[in-house]
Structure 1
């Protein structure tokens, strides 16, 4: 079943025991009818919804969609935050591209930052495309090797440029005031829930801030970001000792 009206589709979904939702985000027809028909043939209880944006449709879902297929052209900075939040709540996030060997920098960015569970290329043979879709819907991950190679290339080139003095490494100055406040508490060993309570924000908002901090500092994880913060504050204060990360007293 496919519908552009979330309310109509939701009513149909509720009337069928065991139905699960799939959200398609992009222009009409970005996934061909033959692919949709093959998916429905294999998953007859799948309720397929279509929307132009993620934010404009999620209010109609309870629970959230099992999977969200996003057209490559729809990826923006705002979409990335929505992808992060959806993924943290269990939705499978998949980007649909025309050709795996000609993906945009936006797609490579979300792959490199772990915001997606898979990439579906429309130039794949239908039987291979369906195998990848089945894997993704059932909890697996799928990224074509050509996309994986491209996503690694900028990181390698960037590391070489920094090592040769061609670029400056990311600095704490790139963070907003709120991100600095969050990072300070991360460096003290505070959990997201504790930080959320401190600033009267939701835990999901703190997760977004932490994700942005890690991305801006080009850090591997929150611990690495905290280490960069402590190193920066040590240099600013002219101290000679590196303070260990510790929990709040």
Structure 2
């Protein structure tokens, strides 16, 4: 995490460390404080309460560097995102937006997906962006970020994974593990009928007919993204 080191970021780091014991969670106040060894081994960068200039430095470092670590913004909420956050989400220069008003289990599931090379953008945010595509052209940071994306030859995602909600991502992850619908319902405290509705929506968004095809699409997408990162 590159973050304003307040109580919330410290607590979040502890939660992430407990949830993902196989990974080292490090909090730094700025990119300049990250060691070269850490830079070479980063899988996911979470950005929280940083000045605009610091966000820009991180984006440029990881898009132009040899290792393309996944990046996500931790924000208070998505209701009133400022212009440069909107541009980050619209252009997919970052890989996700993580609102702090998500339920903790959903937040952690989304973080896990990002660390595995996926994406997480709240469906409500994507809906608002699609309904209001006009961006503030006077936003100099936004313009620079678009330029970074273009000069880095970044391909935008197909949309299959980005279209999934956090709940659908949770269910897809369990589907890929071969978990039965009834057990998924028990784990997520849902009715079995609700799980079936979510699964139908997942199949529709991913353009697949069953869980085997969904798992194949999911893992192929993951491998493609990892290969893309290695090429970059």
TM normalised by structure 1 equals 0.49
Can you give the 5+ residue segments of structure 1 that lack an aligned partner in the other structure? Answer: 1-22, 159-168, 175-207, 222-249
Q: In 1, Cα distance between the equivalents of 2:107 and 2:75?
A: 12
Higher strand share: 1
1:28-67 aligned at under 5 Å gives the runs 28-31=6-9, 33=11, 35-59=12-36, 61-67=38-44
Give the match for residue 211 of structure 1: 147
Q: Distance in 2 between matches of 1:70 and 1:157?
A: 22
Larger Rg: 1
Q: Indicate how the Cα distance of structure 1 residues 146 and 43 shifts in structure 2: closer, same or farther if over 3 A, else same.
A: same
CA positional deviation for 1:210: 8.5
CA deviation profile, 1:71-99 (whole Å, cap 9, x unmatched): 1x315145224314314522110100011
Deviation at 1:157, TM superposition (A): 7.0
Q: Distance in 2 between matches of 1:80 and 1:209?
A: 7
Corresponding residue of 1:180: none
Q: Structure 1 62/76 Cα, relative in aligned 2: closer, same or farther at 3 Å? A: closer
Q: Determine the C-alpha separation between the residues in 2 that align with 1:151 and 1:53.
A: 29
Q: CA deviation at 1:24?
A: 3.4
Structure 2 distance, partners of 1:157, 1:63, is: 34
The separation in 2 between residues aligned to 1:117 and 1:141, in whole angstroms, is 5
Q: Structure 1: how far apart are the matches of 2:42 and 2:29?
A: 15
Unpaired runs of 5+ in structure 2? Answer: 156-232
Judge conservation of contact 2:78–2:125 (CA < 8 Å) in 1: yes
Q: CA deviation at 1:40?
A: 2.2
Q: Write the mapping of 1:143-162 to structure 2, written as runs, cut at 5 A.
A: 143-156=121-134
Does structure 1 conserve the Cα–Cα contact (< 8 Å) formed by 2:60 and 2:148? no
The answer on 1:101 being equivalent to 2:75 is: no
Q: CA deviation at 1:32?
A: 6.0
Greater share of helix residues, 1 or 2?
A: 2
* Conserved? CA contact 1:68–1:94, under 8 Å: yes
Q: Cα distance, 1:151 vs. partner?
A: 3.5
1:31 and 1:78 mapped to 2: Cα distance? 17
Which has the bigger relative contact order, CA under 8 A and spacing at least 6? Answer: 2
Q: Tell me the SS of whatever aligns to 1:211.
A: helix
Deviation, structure 1 residue 46: 1.8
CA RMSD of aligned residues (A): 3.5
Residue 74 of structure 1 is matched in structure 2 by 50
